[in-house]
């Protein structure tokens, strides 16, 4: 069964850091782009960033709202992608989801067909 | 950035109703348009990709159409499990933006 599981969420103070993990199973992890999406309380889905699959060099892109603070990486040998979140702000409070996509460099024709259940990050003093 | 605008933001419907949700892109995205269904506490689920292709395992009552800037998701006969929030997303170019969502509620 194709599956993604996020972990690492929790309560953190503003200005601190947190690292989320996204563990995949049931598929060849390195072949896929991994995207992070978040949903703040009472809000819609917001794209955070993604990391390309090995075919496209595993490079990353982030949304403007997190650029310079969040970094995405991956370890295909462990089938894990990471979202390193630094200088957290209260507005980063959200459920964070990872999803997989069979993507070209900046476009994904077939959408994101598998999502994790999400992990909650609460930024509060 | 490409802006995605969904309408309506919410609707009330009964089981068996035909429901239509629209999504408009601020510039042409060809057919790089996906539709998702999301329930609280659950993983979002891909329903339609490439504007009109039904994702494997998704019931045939779901259909999508459109290209360029205007897109539609149709549920031909609403079922109890379909009450949720629906999002469109463009995956033409980063940032891969979502519409604001359409909440489908029970009338």
pLDDT (tens digit per residue) in A56-108: 899 999 999 999 999 999 999 999 999 999 999 999 999 999 999 988 888 88
Identify the contact set of chain B against chain A, taking CB-CB distances under 8 A: 1, 32, 34, 36, 38, 41-46, 48-50, 53, 55, 85, 87, 89, 91-101
Mean pLDDT of B15-25: 98
Q: Higher model confidence: residue A54 or residue A83? A: A83
Tens of pLDDT, residues B41-68: 899 999 999 999 999 999 999 999 999 9
pLDDT tens digit string along B73-95?
999 999 999 999 999 999 999 99
Interface test with B, best of A49, A107, A114, A120 (most B CBs within 10 A): A107
How many Å separate Cα B67 from the centre of its chain?
A: 14
Quickly state the pLDDT bin for A37 (edges 50, 70, 90).
Answer: very high
- Residue of A35, A50, A117 lying closest to B43 (CB–CB): A117
pLDDT at A109 exceeding the cut of 90 = no
Give the C-alpha separation, A29 to A100, whole Å.
9
- Mind telling me how many Å the CA of B36 is from chain A's nearest CA? 9
Q: What per-residue confidence (pLDDT) applies to A94? A: 98
Residue spans of beta strands (DSSP E) within chain A: 3-7, 10-12, 18-25, 33-39, 45-51, 60-62, 70-75, 80-85, 94-101, 112-115, 119-123
- In A89-125, which positions are buried (b, 16+ CB within 10 angstroms) versus exposed (e)? eeebbbbbbbbbbebeeebbbbbbbbbbebbebbbee
A118 contacts on B by Cβ (under 8 Å): 43
Chain B CA closest to residue A66: B95
CA distance to A43, A83, B8, B78, per residue, from B12 (Å): 19, 37, 10, 11
Distance from CA of A95 to the nearest CA of B (A): 9
Q: What does the pLDDT read at residue B54?
A: 98
Q: B100, A116: Cβ pair inside 8 Å?
A: no
Supply the mean pLDDT for chain A.
Answer: 96
Average pLDDT, chain B: 97
- For residue A19, pLDDT over 90 is answered with yes
Is the pLDDT at B14 greater than 90, yes or no? yes
How distant is the Cα of A44 from the closest Cα of chain B, in angstroms? 6
pLDDT of A96 reads: 98
Grade residue B69 by pLDDT with cuts at 50, 70 and 90: very high
pLDDT value at residue B100: 98
């Amino acid at each position: 069964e194709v599956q993604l599981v996020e972990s690492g969420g929790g309560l953190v103070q503003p200005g601190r850091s947190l690292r989320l993990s996204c563990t995949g199973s049931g598929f060849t992890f390195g072949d896929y782009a991994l995207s992070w999406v978040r949903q703040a309380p009472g809000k819609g889905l917001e794209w955070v960033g993604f990391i390309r699959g090995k075919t496209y060099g595993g490079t990353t892109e982030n949304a403007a709202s997190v650029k310079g603070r969040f970094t995405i990486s991956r370890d295909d040998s462990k089938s894990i992608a990471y979202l390193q979140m630094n200088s957290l702000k209260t507005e980063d409070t959200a459920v964070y989801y990872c999803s997989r996509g069979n993507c070209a460099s900046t476009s994904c024709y077939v959408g994101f067909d598998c999502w994790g259940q999400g992990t909650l990050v609460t930024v509060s003093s | 950035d490409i802006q995605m605008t969904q309408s309506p933001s919410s609707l009330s419907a009964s089981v068996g109703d035909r429901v239509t949700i629209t999504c408009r892109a601020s510039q042409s995205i060809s057919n790089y348009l996906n539709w998702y269904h999301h329930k609280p506490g659950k993983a979002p689920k891909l329903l339609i990709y490439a504007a009109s292709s039904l994702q494997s395992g998704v019931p045939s009552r779901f259909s999508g159409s459109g290209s360029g800037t205007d897109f539609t998701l149709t549920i031909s006969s609403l079922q109890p499990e379909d009450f949720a929030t629906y999002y469109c997303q463009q995956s033409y170019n980063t940032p891969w933006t979502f519409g604001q969502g359409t909440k489908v509620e029970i009338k």
